[in-house]
Amino acid sequence: MSVILTAACIDPLHCYQTAEIIDAANRFWLTDLDEKTKSYALRLFQGAEIRQRYSALPLEVVFRKLSFQEKNNLYIEAAKEMAERALRSALEKARLAPKQLDYLITTSCTGFMIPSVDAYLVDRLGLRQDVVRIPITEMGCAGGSSGLTYAHRLLRGHPGGHAAVVAVEVPSITFQRDDLSVENLVSTAIFADGAAAVLLRAEGEGLRILDTEMYHFPQSTHLMGYELRDSGLKIILDREVPAAISSHFDRYFYPLLERQQLTVADVEHFLFHPGGKKILSAVEGLLGKHGKNLRFSRKVLTERGNLSSATVLYVLNQAMQEARTGEYGYMLAFGPGFTAQSLLLQW
């Protein structure tokens, strides 16, 4: 049974209050829009219930009209820098040497890199030449929980082994200046940059991963993803997502608990990916029937926004600071496919 040793989350270079983002949007972007669209965009910013967000880039660059090549070059440099800081921090917290890592799993969906970011981490941190690299690029917001699942399954066959999961995202460079669709306006209002690293060991003391589950929603590939354009990655975020999450809840949520002979009442901490206010409210409404809440998820959304695959690892880091020995945790994230990825944890 694998265990999570530590989680480390880093702050990108720039931190902006929502009021500052609105001011920059007014100066660098919204002046080109008609009053109706401008008013709607501002209502989305103000109603997202996000106090501040971090960005790897200054806002004047985020709102600038850039080609896909220019955006992707910015992504590559930011991803390398943030991923390195996150992994170094996690190794220091766990008092592990870089050469103790047997598996390096990286996840990112907001840009393209070949070689992937893990190749640069091998050189920059001095990892072993035989470290197993596993880059994940298309799992979207479920990438962080998926990475933990893959690490858990790899370590079950490697007693004494260690794995790192690194999620790094730069959604700020996916902004589409000339796209006035609801999806682009919503994503501009909620997404932010971030990187997190989690270290796992095959056995010993720590936060135990008891079980994992991946549920694929039938006929749902249209709900979430990216469309590749000359101007970069245009987000696909269907308005049916909250309804799909609610209608399938019984099918992806309870089986994981039932396999471990647990009920919702037995779980103290729910570590869900806060995709946005509507998705968070949809899940919170279902859990509220059992007297449970998503306080860690709501805290991360308020203080950082949606960091795509890294978000659920930030939520995990919050819970690890408060949870007590013996308590259970339930991690859940949704991603393109449409997929629900779950893990059952115990401290």
Could you give the residue numbers annotated as active site? 141
Distance between CA 290 and CA 284 in Å, rounded? 10
Do residues 60 and 177 make contact, with C-beta atoms less than 8 angstroms apart? no
Burial classification of residue 271, based on how many CB atoms lie within 10 Å of its CB (0-12 exposed, 13-18 middle, 19 or more buried): buried
Q: What residues contact 95, with CB distance under 8 A and at least 6 apart?
A: none
Q: What angle do CA 112, 201, 79 make, to 5 degrees?
A: 20
Nearest alpha carbon to residue 110 among 267, 241, 306: 306
Burial 305-332 (b: 16+ CB within 10 A, else e): bbbbbbbbbbbbbbbbeebeeebbbbbb
C-alpha distances (whole Å) from 118 to each of 124, 177, 190, 206 are 10, 30, 27, 25
Distance between CA 145 and CA 159 in Å, rounded? 22
Distance between CA 179 and CA 233 in Å, rounded? 11
Backbone angles phi, psi at 114, to 5 degrees: -135, 110
